[in-house]
Chains A and B, each alone.
Chain A
Amino acid sequence: MTWEIVIGLEVHAQLSTNTKIFCGASTAFGAEPNTQADAVSLALPGVLPVLNKGAVERAIKFGLATGAHIAPRSVFARKNYFYPDLPKGYQISQFDLPVVGQGALTIQVEPLSGNAKPYEKVVRITRAHLEEDAGKSLHADFHGMTGIDLNRAGTPLLEIVSEPDMRSAAEAVAYAKALHTLVRWIGICDGNMQEGSFRCDVNVSVRKPGAELGTRREIKNLNSFKFMQQAIDYEVQWQIDTIENGGKVQQATILFDPDSGETRMMRSKEDAHDYRYFPDPDLLPLDIGSDWIEQVRATLPELPHDKQLRYVNDLGLSAYDASVLTSSREMADFFEAALGDATAQAKICANWIIGEVSAQLNRDGLDMAQCPISAQQLGGMLKRIADGTISNSGAKEVFRTMWAEGGDADAIIEAKGLKQVSDSGAIEALVDEIIAANADKVAEYRSGKDKLFGFFVGLAMKASKGKANPAQLNDILKQKLAG
Chain B
Amino acid sequence: MFESSLKQLGDALRAKKISSVELTQLYLDRIAKLNPELNAYITLNPEASLVQARAADVRLAAGSAEALTGIPIAQKDIFCAKGWLTTCGSKMLHNFVSPYDAHVIQQFNNAGAINLGKTNMDEFAMGSSNETSHYGAVKNPWDKARVPGGSSGGTAAAVAARLCAAATGTDTGGSIRQPAALCGISGLKPTYGVCSRYGMIAFASSLDQAGPMGRSAEDLALMMNTMAGFDERDSTSLQRDKEDYARDLDKPLTGLRIGLPKEFFAEGLGSDVAQAVEAAIAEYKKLGATVVDISLPNTRLSIPVYYVLAPAEASSNLSRFDGVRYGYRAPDYGDIADMYEKSRAQGFGAEVKRRIMIGTYVLSHGYYDAYYIQAQKIRRLIAQDFTEAYKHCDVIMGPTAPSTAFKLGEKGDDPVQMYLSDIYTIAVNLAGLPGMSIPCGFGDNNMPVGLQIIGNYFDEARMLNVAHQYQLATDWHSRAPQA
Contacts and interface: CB of A to CB of B under 8 A. Distances in A.
A44 B234 contact: no
Interface stretch (A65-73, A86-94, A386-394, A444-452): A86-94
A454 interface: no
A50 interface: yes
Interface string A261-292: 00000000000001011100111100000000
Contact of B199 (A47, A80, A89): A47
A48 B372 contact: no
Contacts of A281: 204-206, 236, 313
B80 A44 contact: yes
A46 interface: yes
Contacts of B340: 82
Contacts of B96: 45
Contact of A276 (B86, B204, B235, B363): B363
B1 interface: no
Given A44-B80, A49-B235, A281-B313, A276 B324 contact: no
A42 B316 contact: no
B431 interface: no
A20 interface: no
A43 B324 CA distance: 11
Residue among B88, B233, B321, B368 with most chain A CB within 10 A? B233
B372 A278 contact: yes
Contacts of B240: none
B198 A48 contact: yes
Contacts of B326: 44-45
A282 B318 CA distance: 14
A282 B324 contact: no
A314 B24 CA distance: 83
B235 A48 contact: yes
Interface residues of B, number: 45
Contact of B316 (A46, A78, A87): A78
A44 B99 contact: yes
Contacts of A84: 322, 324, 336
B143 to A, nearest CB: 34
A481 interface: no
Contact of B198 (A47, A90, A284): A47
Nearest to B360: A276
Chain B facing A: main interface SS: loop
A51 interface: yes
B250 interface: no
Nearest to A278: B363
Contacts of B234: 48, 50
A148 interface: yes
A45 B206 contact: no
Interface in B309-325: 312-313, 315-316, 318-322, 324-325
Contact of B365 (A46, A51, A274): A274
A277 B367 CA distance: 12
A48 B197 contact: yes
A247 to B, nearest CB: 28
A45 B198 contact: no
A84 B336 CA distance: 8
Contact of B320 (A51, A89, A276): A89
B481 to A, nearest CB: 32
B319 A80 contact: yes
Contacts of A44: 80, 98-100, 326
Contact of A282 (B88, B235, B360): B235
A51 B235 contact: yes
A122 interface: no
Given A48-B234, A278-B312, A82 B102 contact: no
Contacts of B336: 84, 146
B116 to A, nearest CB: 20
Nearest to B344: A82
B233 to A, nearest CB: 6
B188 to A, nearest CB: 21
Contacts of B202: 45-46, 282
Given A51-B235, A276-B360, A282-B205, A89 B316 contact: yes
B232 interface: yes
B346 interface: no
A277 B325 CA distance: 24
A45 B324 contact: no
Contacts of A43: 320, 325
B235 A88 contact: no
B316 A278 contact: yes
Interface in B186-217: 197-202, 204-206
B364 interface: yes
A78 to B, nearest CB: 5
Contact of B319 (A39, A47, A88, A148): A88
A276 B325 contact: no
Nearest to A78: B316
Contacts of A146: 336
B221 interface: no
B322 A82 contact: yes
Nearest to B80: A46
B432 to A, nearest CB: 12
A124 to B, nearest CB: 27
A368 to B, nearest CB: 40
Interface in B76-96: 79-80, 86, 88, 93, 96
B235 A284 contact: yes
Contacts of B364: 274, 276
Nearest to B100: A39
A31 B90 CA distance: 35
A278 B319 contact: no
B362 to A, nearest CB: 9
Contacts of A283: 235
A82 B236 contact: no
B235 A46 contact: no
Contact of A42 (B236, B325, B368): B325
B199 A46 contact: yes
A39 B368 CA distance: 31
A277 B320 CA distance: 16
Contacts of B324: 84, 87, 148
Residue among A42, A46, A281, A283 with most chain B CB within 10 A? A46
Interface in A231-265: none
A277 B206 CA distance: 16
A274 B313 CA distance: 16
Contacts of B319: 80, 82, 88-90
Contact of B368 (A46, A89, A278): A278
Contacts of A47: 198-199
Contacts of B325: 42-43, 87, 148
Residue among B204, B316, B326, B372 with most chain A CB within 10 A? B316
B236 A284 contact: yes
A83 B388 CA distance: 46
B236 A282 contact: yes
B115 to A, nearest CB: 16
A479 to B, nearest CB: 83
A282 to B, nearest CB: 5
B360 A50 contact: no
A146 B325 CA distance: 12
Nearest to B325: A42
Contacts of B315: 80, 276
Nearest to A150: B325
Contacts of A49: 235
A156 B100 CA distance: 25
Nearest to B204: A281
Given A50-B234, A89-B318, 8 more contacts: A45-B202, A45-B326, A46-B80, A46-B201, A47-B199, A48-B235, A51-B235, A276-B360
Closest 10 CB pairs of A and B: A89-B319, A276-B363, A281-B206, A281-B205, A46-B199, A45-B201, A43-B320, A46-B80, A274-B365, A46-B201
Interface of A: 39, 42-51, 78, 80, 82, 84, 87-90, 146, 148, 274, 276-278, 281-284
7 contacts: A43-B320, A46-B197, A78-B316, A89-B320, A274-B364, A278-B316, A284-B236
